[in-house]
Amino acid sequence: MYKNIHQFIPFQHENAEVKNNIIELARAQDRTKAEGALTATLIYTNVVDYLAKHLLENLYKMSSIYLFKQFGGVFHPDFSKKRTSLPIGQLQAELKNFTFPQKRDFLELLQEFKKLRNQAMHNLMQLDPNDATKNIDADLARIAELAEDLLAKYNVISSGLITIWDAANKNPHSEKS
């Protein structure tokens, strides 16, 4: 079980300022140039991977801790050993096992992002070096749009789950009738 289940706060990010600066770096890239488009794409790819992994980790922790508390530690799934460093397709498959706000939209965006990212990277390897951006400019721009959409959805999902978590963990005996 997790070190201190009573102090778990879902969706806290380690080094949140650094992560925000990295996202801002992707946004600041000049995507009209090959270097800027590729840099932004690589950053956004890592951000999306991180978001999917972080969402899955928090869903595992929330489920495990809630059941641990509900059943007095007698019954609970121990997801602490569950691997979350997975490729994006496997993260997506694991996320399908949970119910959460905006799940369908998030998973559809994630699927589209994965497909487009794979397509863009495959196409990149086949391009003429003198004509490196003509065919993939639209793909790289769409990857950035999808990453921003996923970031917005993630923020909505995490906010909603934090609210649900807080309500579920409220002690009904401490409220005055």
- Residue 174: inside a domain, yes or no? no
- Residue 5: inside a domain, yes or no? no
Is 70 exceeded by the pLDDT of residue 2?
A: no
Closest CA to 161 of 65, 83, 68: 65
pLDDT digits (tens, 9 = 90+) for 66-110: 888 777 777 777 666 677 778 899 999 999 999 998 999 999 999
Pick the range with the lowest mean pLDDT from 77-86, 115-124, 150-159. 77-86
Q: pLDDT: is 113 or 34 the higher one?
A: 113
pLDDT digits (tens, 9 = 90+) for 46-72: 999 999 999 999 898 888 888 887 777
pLDDT digits (tens, 9 = 90+) for 166-175: 888 775 444 4
Give the separation between CA 158 and CA 13, rounded to whole angstroms: 11
Give the separation between CA 176 and CA 9, rounded to whole angstroms: 25
CB contact at 8 A, 55 and 45: no
Could you list the residue range(s) of the whole structural domain that residue 83 is in? Answer: 16-167
Structural domain tally of the chain? Answer: 1
- Residue 74: inside a domain, yes or no? yes
Count other Cβ atoms within 10 Å, centred on residue 115.
Answer: 12
pLDDT value at residue 80: 66
- Residue 2: inside a domain, yes or no? no
- Residue 59: inside a domain, yes or no? yes
pLDDT value at residue 173: 43
- Residue 152: inside a domain, yes or no? yes
pLDDT value at residue 132: 52
Q: Which two tokens stand for residue 151?
A: 């970031």
- Residue 6: inside a domain, yes or no? no
Burial class (CB in 10 A: 0-12, 13-18, 19+), 105: middle
- Residue 172: inside a domain, yes or no? no
Residue 58 main-chain phi, psi, to 5 deg: -70, -40
Length of the chain: 177
